Every structure is written in structure tokens, then in C-alpha cells.
Structure 1
Amino acid sequence: MKKAEEMQIIKASEIARDTVEMVLRNRYISQHAAPGQFLHIHVEGHTLRRPISIADVNHEEETVTILFKIVGSGTRQLAANRPGMSINALGPNGNGFPVLAQPGKTVLLAGGGIGVPPLYYLGKTLKSNGVKLISILGFQSKVDIFYEKEFSQLGTTFIVTDDGSYGGKGFVTDVLDDTGLFELYYSCGPGPMLQAMTEKLKGKPGYISLEERMGCGVGTCLACVIPASNGDGYKKICKDGPVFHAGEVSL
């Protein structure tokens, strides 16, 4: 069982509509976090912790960056914390993205909304390994967009919005035919998006990361189970995931 860690807030700012970027300092978590893992964060006045993906890590400064959307009282309370304060977190939790691509290969990163953050640390890791990156980032509207510049520094980046207010109009899957060839894909976002991605890219090797409400966050309470696609029981998103091989679970 992982022990809770105190993480000092170094920076906190709203970088898009109701979207907060928070930089946290903790030596243990910063040295052990892998792309695709998450923190399970305690929020004052709330019983259940909030699972939030790790967006970036700086080993030298011993910091971890998270991004989250303000969607209720818990995330609103978390967003109210200011630099100099501390938060309590379990982590790093879950199984992250397997970093499989070899130097010179081309990989697609496809994220929707708050599913975008965990792909950034993955993209930085892949690029440092000599992998060529193509990214598709989907948002509701222009005011919801974040990290466009950061992903563009990693490789070719496409932006789509539901309402067409910025970039292409439509969904992440609408751009797949425009990306060119790639050997492997990684995707994170809402269930319907992942369902469409895995269907359209059937037969192509890939990994998906699931967003889910959780209870314990460590595989004990069974609040975040999902059926295995082979009919052999269930997978725990918090412990067996949140990353799964495309087709491993029934979406």
C-alpha cells in the first residue's frame, strides 16, 4: 500500500476555461512517476480522494505538474489552494503507458479535453527517445484549449473543437485521415472518444487511458471496474489501468 505524501504547491493558475495547472513539489513522487500514472488527492471536507493524471515531471526540480477541470465542489476546493500550501496525495498510482516505440518510429497521440494532460509527459518521454510525434488534441471550444504550444514543440499538432471556434470543427477521430502514417497510437479522453478511436484504428497497435471516478484508488473497493473484452471478469481501472492495450477492455 502506498503511503500518503505531502506535496507543496509551487504554482497554481487557470490556463483555460475552468482548467487549472498546478505544480507540486515532492521528491519521492517526482522520482518515481511514469507517463500515464495519476495522483489520488485528498480534498478538505470531502471523503473520497480525486484521481488526477500527471501531466509533467521535472526530476531536477523534484516537481510534478497536474491539470484538472473545475467540475464540482471537490475540484473547486482543490483549485482554491495557493502556492506555499500543501496537499496530501497517494501516488504515483496505476499502470502507465508502455514506452514501446523505437527511435525513428512515428507515434500518434490523441487526447480529448482533460484526457490531454497525461499525453504530454508521455510525448516528452517519447521525443527524448528519438520518436517522431503527431498529436491530435480535441476541445469543446477555443476557450478550453491548453498546451497547444507545448505539444507543437514535440511535433506536428492538430487542434479540433466541437464548435469549430478554433482549428478544425469536429472530433479527434475526424482528423485521423490527415495525420499520415504512424506505427503506434496512444489515446486518452472520454469513453465515446476512445470507443470511436479503437474502432477506427482496429488492427493498429495502441494503448488507451480511461477516465473514471474512483473510491480507494488502489484496487481495494472495486468502484472503478470495467469488463475485460475477452469475457474473463473485470479489470480495475485504478490498479490494472488506467492504461490498457486497445481492445483489452469493453468500452
Structure 2
Amino acid sequence: MMKKENVVIKSVEQIALDTVEMVVKNPYISQKAIPGQFLHVSVEGHTLRRPISIADINRENKTITILFKMVGSGTAKLAALNPGMSFDVLGPSGNGFQTEGNESSTILLIGGGIGVPPLYYLGKELAKQNKEIISVLGYQTRANVFSEEMFRRLGKTFIVTNDGSYGEKGFVTDVIQKAGYFDYYYSCGPLPMLKAVTAKLADKPGMISLEERMGCGVGACMACVIPTDSEGGYKKICSDGPVFHTQEVSL
């Protein structure tokens, strides 16, 4: 159940070009959040909240890790906060990845840019279920790469950069065939990437998480809708998603 909660900053660190990792503490969210959910973050001086995916949870320490890119004054102001300071969030928000009852043995995680972070928490939970984890992670350049070693601890990992400055050159769809056998996939990233991934893997079952600007974040304002595949209907990314089965929405 989503609630308005206050979180206290434990650490802030820039881990790649324009990319910040922040660890915050909150007893409620740290016990309730599941992979794929997000925090809707309030930034002082800004009317609209910022949706930021949950990258990891430590239930014992009651902490939540979030990663975000500094792309404007709001996220820059968030990144400038110091340990010990606090801010309010709505969370855990949205519907996350479904993992219970998934009988698949080998899972492929496909992430692009800031779509990579939520896949790490997901991969950790799937590894606890004795799933074999393979990851294909795409970034713009070497300077943008983060979380590589964390994913390598989960299983075989391929890094892809657009310019070839690190890992494989190209896009995640260029490398998927190198992953080998898998029977289910989860993907998160920008819409063009998700369109390419779902087209390439049309014969495979999977789930996708959509990145989208949001207004209210609770399904009231209709600012983040996406067409479904049936009868011209729509789903709300903030409340029905951000995670959907691949056949559930029309990209």
C-alpha cells in the first residue's frame, strides 16, 4: 500500500556521468516495496514530484537505494542534499514485477540507461529463487556505465555501449543473441529500446517496465497513459504499471 512517507538520507554518491546513487532510510517502504516499484519524490521548490525507481532494498537496515540522472533543476537539487537531511515521498508506488509462480529456470534481464537500476533488485530476488540470471545492460558511453559488478555477481552479464567505448558496440538488441538460452525476460528502459526488444523477442514471454513523466503519480490526472492492445483502451503507467506483461500494452 502506497503512503506518504518521510525518508532520511544515509548517503549520496555520483557513480557515473550525471548519475547519482542515494540511500535513504524508511521503515515502512523498506519492508513493503517489491521489485519494479518506485518512489514519487517531492523536491522543494518544484510542484511536480519526480518518479524514481527503487534499485535495491535492505530490509534489515531499513534502507532503500535509488539511482537517478541529473537532467534538470529538480534532480540537481535532489542530488545536492546531504546525509541526515530528509524529504517526503509517495511509496512504494505502482505495480512491480511479478516473480512468484514464475516456473522459468533462466531469466534474461535487459536494461537501458536509467532503466538498469530496478532490474538489480529484481535480479536479487530471482536469484533467491535459484533462477539463472543473465543480464544485457546498455549505456551511451563508458562514462555512463554503472552497477556492472553488482550484476556480474548475479550471473553472466553483457555490457553494451552505443559508441563501443566499453563492452560490446551497438544496442542491447544487437547482443541478446549472445546471451544464449533463456525462457523468460524482464526489461526496463526508454520506449524505443522497449519497442525493439519486444519486437525481437515476440515469441518469448516477458514483462516490461515503462519510463514516463508523471503528474499526480496516483492515477488521477491521466497524464501518463498508454494504449492497450484491445478495443482502444488505455492503462495508466503510474498506477496500472509501470510494469506490464509484454502483450498487455501497445508500444
TM-score for both structures, normalised by structure 1: 0.98
Give yes or no for the alignment of 1:162 onto 2:162: yes
- Residue 185 of structure 1 corresponds to which residue in structure 2? 185
Q: Is the 8 A contact 2:43 2:74 kept in 1?
A: yes
Rounded Cα–Cα distance in structure 1 between residues aligned with 2:118 and 2:2: 21
Which residue in the other structure is 2:130 paired with?
A: 130
> 2:13 is matched with which residue?
13
Question: How many Å apart are 1:154 and its aligned residue?
Answer: 0.1
Q: Which residue of 1 aligns with 2:25?
A: 25
Task: Confirm or deny: 8 A CA contact 1:104 1:130 kept in the other structure.
Answer: no
Asked if 1:47 is matched to 2:47, the reply is yes
Q: Which moved more, 1:36-45 or 1:102-111?
A: 102-111
Which segments of structure 1 move beyond 6 Å, counting only runs of 4 or more?
A: none
For 2:104 and 2:238, the matched residues in 1 are separated by 32
Unaligned runs of 5+ in 1: none
Mapped partners of 1:101, 1:165: distance in 2: 40
Q: Distance in 1 between matches of 2:2 and 2:179?
A: 40
Partners of 1:130 and 1:3 lie apart in 2 by: 32
Q: Secondary structure at the match of 1:77?
A: helix
| Structure 2 counterparts to residues 1-251 of structure 1, below 5 A | 2-100=2-100, 105-251=105-251
1:2: Cα distance to partner?
3.8
Alignment deviations for residues 179-213 of structure 1 (CA, whole Å, 9 cap, x no partner): 11101000000000000000000021000000000
Q: Secondary structure at the match of 1:45?
A: coil
- How far residue 3 of structure 1 moved from its aligned partner, in angstroms, is 3.3
Q: Please state whether the residue corresponding to 2:250 is helix, strand or coil.
A: coil
Residues 219 and 238, structure 1, Cα contact 8 Å, conserved in 2: yes
Give 1:77 deviation, angstroms: 0.7
Contact 2:11 2:24 in 1 (8 A): yes
Asked whether the 8 Å contact 1:215–1:221 carries over to 2, the reply is yes
Structure 2: state its 5+ residue gaps. Answer: none
State the 1:100 CA deviation: 4.3
Aligned length: 251
Deviation at 1:230, TM superposition (A): 1.6
Query: Which range moved further: 97-106 or 196-205?
Result: 97-106
2: CA distance, partners of 1:159 / 1:67: 18
> What is the identity, as a one-letter code, of the residue corresponding to 2:45?
G
Return the letter of the residue paired with 2:198. Answer: T
- Residues 141 and 161, structure 2, Cα contact 8 Å, conserved in 1: yes
Report sequence identity in percent: 65
Q: Is the 8 A contact 2:163 2:169 kept in 1?
A: yes
User: 1:104·1:132 contact (CA, 8 Å) conserved in 2?
Assistant: no
Secondary structure in 1 aligned to 2:21? strand
